[in-house]
Every structure is written in structure tokens, then in C-alpha cells.
Amino acid sequence: MDLHHLTDEPTAEERAAVDALLGPYLENGVSGREARSQRHLLLPALHAVADRVGWVSRGALGYICRRLTVPPADAFGVVSFYDLLSTEPLPPLTVRICDDVACMAAGCDALIGDVEKRFGPEGASNSGAAWLRSPCLGLCEQAPAALLTSAGVKPRVAALAPAALASIEAALANSAEAALGNSAGIDVDEPCSLPQAGEPQLRLLRRIGRGDPLDLDAYRGAGGYGALSRAFDLGPDGVIREILASKLIGRGGAAFPTGRKWEAVAREPEHPHYVVCNADESEPGTFKDRVLMEEDPFAVIEAMTIAAFAVGSEQGYIYIRGEYGRARERIVAAIAAARAAGLLGADVMKRGLRFDIEVRRGAGAYICGEETALFNSIEGFRGEPRNKPPFPVRKGLFGKPTVVNNVETLVNVLDIVTNGGATYAAIGTPDAAGTKLFCVSGHVAQPGLYEVTFGTTLRALLDRAGGVRGGAALQAVLVGGAAGAFVLPDELDAPLTFAGMREVKAALGSGVVIVFDQSVDLAAIVRRIARFFRHESCGQCVPCRIGTVRQEESLDRLALAHGAGVDDEMRLLHEIGQVMRDASICGLGQTASSAVESALAKLPVFGAGRSA
């Protein structure tokens, strides 16, 4: 391909960062088809540069394009797609402060106001550091949250949660110290994520909090890799039979039967088959997959290996959202340990299975949690969803049959294989088998990750979390995140099942439960949700690209409307919602109006119940 390249040269640092990933540049090295087949390294290469210098310059992008034979315009389209990558100079140290729903309930607006007073406007460089606003960082149980990223030879992504002016000040002012990793006191305080730690009824969370999550011997000692061993005994068909019998359904939000997915891929004659773990957890209010990856990384890897055995795959990918620094570190370390122990590689457990896992890192795009957008992102393209059909089980990653499962879904597989599908199916309710993780945040006494049996009522879950903080009166619960719906105080007896939530016009989604007491301005929360979707829309299809903008504008007008103006605005919002739901390409656009419409229908702050 005769490409026209940028003439700008990379700096020595940028070149070194790219070469560290791709190997030294040889004038007559890889070219042609061979180079083009490395397109999937585009995002890792962009990360490498941003990790080293903080942003992606023309020289750096030009060099990457020459190395990978990617047209510069095309690569610019990719780099400009992601929030965590900048084509404008950005200081090496940034602190991204979450201003999303759960953090709003924790007073992030006041925090951001203080930071702004102290450090000037968002994005302004302040002696090598800058602060930025961010959508949900997945640290909701420890809100308000912030994320520190520091570029350099030892790049770092670290959570600051709960964040306070003092810790943000320390991070921004003490850039050298923070960059060197000497950041005691600014990391997440782990134990508070798991209020149930050690309780005997736990299934998915039972290993968590019991020692070093990266101790492979301890993992095996506690029964780890017993499931894979059993899977080998069952054979691929046997594993799929158990998964089908378990009635396991996906926990990522779409609730598709996992066994049917695996069965479909296993039967596809075209090869290779891929196993992809979707760890791009970005639904505002969700943090379950982060905790699972941080605290039980071998479970995720073992489950992916079982999936690979069942569907006949030799290569797996785990796509972890870019904001999850610790989860990525631990998964990478666990993969290395598993490989060293012969639990990944050419002959897994000496049972003839060849399988390995590559970690891919997102770069700040909610849409990449949509499975086909995730494939495009791995392949080095813009994270735009593909039209379905064809579905991933036929044409997925690199156009090949692909199983794509959420982290929590996969962890469920271990017990199913170990104890049998029928045993698993007996847990929970007939329409929802097993246990479910709920990410409880907002105004509860004990926010954190909770595991409850399907069918538990929302009230029981909130009681387990200690009820509304300070005994205050409950205003509403947002279930399912930004793509979810509001549940009112008189609806708390609804069981946490798919059908139970439908009864109260809500959906379980990814297991988000954000609690609001009476102090919260729910109209502001709803506008924040609308802003979230406007910001996260990939821009590909008209209903979502423009609909999310019109929805936000209409909500802003509604806040100021009176009398008939209110009815007109509500009618318009319903129409916008209907079209986004009906005509958008993917689930983002199709659910971008869910919470808004739920608020219009239920919350007294809107419509007739609104005080004039």
C-alpha cells in the first residue's frame, strides 16, 4: 500500500516507546501484508506513546503509521476516538475527577469547585500537571473518586478514592513523587469494597479477602483449577451441556444464555475461534468486574480457559477498561504466573489444550463495552459497533466465531463445571439461576459489592447494606446504571430478578444499585445521565449521535419550562427516546433514554408532580 505519511519525526522518547512494543525499526523490515496484519497493535502503540509522554503528537502518530502501514487519517480517527488519548499536548501527570452519578451523590461538585479554585480550569497545565473531569471511573463504592495517570518510563494509573482536595493536591503538586510510585495514602482502601467478606454463603466472592490474590498456590489450594480439571474429564460437549443445564445468563447487561453462545461457537466450522472476556466495565455505577479481577484474577483466567476448551479456541483476549490500572496489573501478573505453571500455553495441565490469553487495554470509551465495538477496538479500528446480524458467534473478532463473555459471567462457570449445571440451576429462581453481584453505592451505610441469590428483594439488599445512610429517608434507587431506571421507595419489595425488575419497569442490567436520599437533586442526576450518553455516543448512527444531543437540550429546557411547555417537552423527549430505542445500531443508543423516560414517568420532580 503506497501511503502518504506525515513528515513530522518522533522524538527519541516517542520512538523508544514504540520500539519497545514493536521492536527496532528496520528500513527494509516488515512491510506489505505482514505489516498490515499488525493493525491490531495500533491501540497498544498509541498507549505506549501516551504512557511515555502523556499524549500523541504528529511525529509519534506518523511513526506508528509507518511502522504498522496504517493511513495517518485512519489512525487519527482512532486516536481521536478515545478519552484517555490526546492529540493535544497534555502534561505527563493528570488527575481525572469523576463527576458521574454516584460521585455526584458523594459531593463531587463541591470537590471539583475546590480543585478549580486551587488549580484553575479543567485541562490547564499547572507545572506539569492538569486535572480533568471524567465519566464514571468504576470506584463508586468509594466515591468521590479520582484517577491519577502519570506518564514516563514507569507509567502509572492509580485510583484516588475516596478523593479529597488534599489527596488531589498532593498528587498534582507532588508530581515527581507520585510518578515514582511513592503514593502511599492515595490508593483505594480495598477492604471497604467487600462488606460481606468471609461470609459462608458467598459463592462468587468466597475467595476474596482471603490472602494474596496473586498467590497461585493458595488459589489452587482453595480448589482453584479443579474446575478446569473437571472440564477436561467432561470433554467440550460435556462442559457445554453443564453450562446449558445451569441456565446461566450473561451478567454484562444483555442477559443472553451463555450456554447457547458457547454451543453456537463450538459448532462453527470456520476457525480459529476466539474467547474474549469483556472487562470494559464502564456502566456508571458498576465496579463488580474490577473487584473480581483485582481480588480473584486466577478465577477469570481459569474460566476463560474452560471456555476455550469448550468452544475449541487457542487464543483469548481480555479487554480491560483503560481506567482499571490495578485490575490490569493483577490480570497480567496472574496470566504470567499461570503460564509459568503450565496452566496456559502449548499444553495446559498436560491435557493437550493449547490456549493463551492476551490482555488488551481500553482507552476511555464506554461504547467499547458493546461487544462488536470491542472487537473493532482490539482490531485497531474506531470503537464503532457493527450491525448485527451477523452475530459474534459467527463473525466476531477478526471476523471469526467468537465467544464474548463478561467477567462475572465467566466466574460463574467455575462452580457450574465443578458442581454440575443442575445444582447451579437450583439456586435462585426459575427465571434467574445462581447468585448475582450488585454494586451498591450512593447514600447507603455500607456501600460495596454484594453477592445475593437471585430473587432477593431490593429492600433486603439495601438492608444488608445498612439502609439509607444516617437513617435518612430514601428518595429513589437507580437500578442498572445510566442505561437503567429509577425504582421508588414503595417498589423496594420487587425481587432482584429479570422479571421482578420488569414489574417495576426497571432492568437489572449490570447490577448497579445507586441509592439517593432526599438531599439529591434527581433532575440534575437525570441531566448528568443525558450528558453521559451524549459524551459516550460513538457518533456513527444518526438516532444516537443527534438524539443524545437533542435529549440533553430538551431536558435543559424542561428544567425551565412552565405549564404547556412542560407537556410539549415531555412529549418530545418520549419521541426522541422512541427513535433512539427503535433505530439506533447498538445497545448504547437503544438504552440512552431508559433512565430519562423512567424519570419522566416516575419521579415527582418532573411533570405534573413538579412544584411550580
| 3-state SS class at 601 | helix
CB of 366 to another protein, least distance (A): 10
Quick check: 61 binds another protein (CB under 8 A)? yes
Quick check: 80 binds another protein (CB under 8 A)? yes
Using alpha carbons, select from 335, 342, 212 the residue that is nearest to residue 277: 335
Quick one: DSSP state of residue 488? Answer: -
In the list 288, 290, 328, 534, the residue contacting another protein (rule: CB under 8 A) is 534
CB of 384 to another protein, least distance (A): 8
CB of 390 to another protein, least distance (A): 9
Given a contact cutoff of 8 angstroms between Cβ atoms, the answer to whether 410 and 261 are in contact is no
CB of 539 to another protein, least distance (A): 3
Using alpha carbons, select from 172, 50, 175, 180 the residue that is nearest to residue 122: 172
In the list 127, 235, 582, 604, the residue contacting another protein (rule: CB under 8 A) is 582
Stretch that binds another protein, among 41-49, 209-217, 546-554, 596-604 (CB under 8 A): 546-554
Quick check: 365 binds another protein (CB under 8 A)? yes
Quick check: 250 binds another protein (CB under 8 A)? no
In the list 87, 126, 174, 418, the residue contacting another protein (rule: CB under 8 A) is 87
Total of residues contacting another protein (CB under 8 A): 50
Quick check: 565 binds another protein (CB under 8 A)? no
Nearer to another protein by C-beta: 92 or 543? 543
Stretch that binds another protein, among 163-171, 347-355, 569-577, 597-605 (CB under 8 A): 569-577
| Three cell numbers written together for 535 | 459524551
Using alpha carbons, select from 440, 500, 392, 358 the residue that is nearest to residue 44: 358
| 478 vs 508: CA distance, rounded Å | 10
Nearer to another protein by C-beta: 347 or 582? 582
Nearer to another protein by C-beta: 389 or 470? 389
Query: CB neighbours (10 Å) of residue 121?
Result: 8
Q: Could you write out the DSSP letters of every residue in 14-61?
A: HHHHHHHHH----TTSS-HHHHHTTGGGHHHHHHHHHHHHSS--HHHH
CB of 30 to another protein, least distance (A): 19
| 254 vs 191: CA distance, rounded Å | 30
Quick check: 73 binds another protein (CB under 8 A)? yes
Quick check: 149 binds another protein (CB under 8 A)? no
Phi, psi of 602 (to 5 degrees): -110, -35
Q: Where are the alpha helices (DSSP H) in 325-364?
A: 325-340
Given a contact cutoff of 8 angstroms between Cβ atoms, the answer to whether 133 and 115 are in contact is no
CB of 83 to another protein, least distance (A): 8
| 392 vs 406: CA distance, rounded Å | 14
| 589 vs 445: CA distance, rounded Å | 34
Quick one: DSSP state of residue 468? Answer: B
| 227 vs 419: CA distance, rounded Å | 9
Quick check: 572 binds another protein (CB under 8 A)? yes
CB of 62 to another protein, least distance (A): 8
What radius of gyration, in Å, describes the C-alpha atoms of the chain? 24
Nearer to another protein by C-beta: 203 or 557? 557
Quick check: 594 binds another protein (CB under 8 A)? no
Quick check: 528 binds another protein (CB under 8 A)? no
Using alpha carbons, select from 334, 351, 315, 354 the residue that is nearest to residue 220: 334
Quick check: 11 binds another protein (CB under 8 A)? no
Given a contact cutoff of 8 angstroms between Cβ atoms, the answer to whether 368 and 362 are in contact is yes
CB of 550 to another protein, least distance (A): 5
In the list 45, 293, 337, 541, the residue contacting another protein (rule: CB under 8 A) is 541
| Three cell numbers written together for 267 | 459448532
In the list 9, 35, 58, 426, the residue contacting another protein (rule: CB under 8 A) is 58
Using alpha carbons, select from 381, 162, 159, 402 the residue that is nearest to residue 274: 402
Stretch that binds another protein, among 1-9, 245-253, 396-404, 463-471 (CB under 8 A): 1-9
Given the rule CB under 8 A, which residues bind another protein?
1, 3-4, 6, 58, 61, 71-77, 80-81, 87, 365, 382, 387, 389, 534-543, 545-550, 553-554, 557, 572, 575-576, 578-579, 581-585, 590
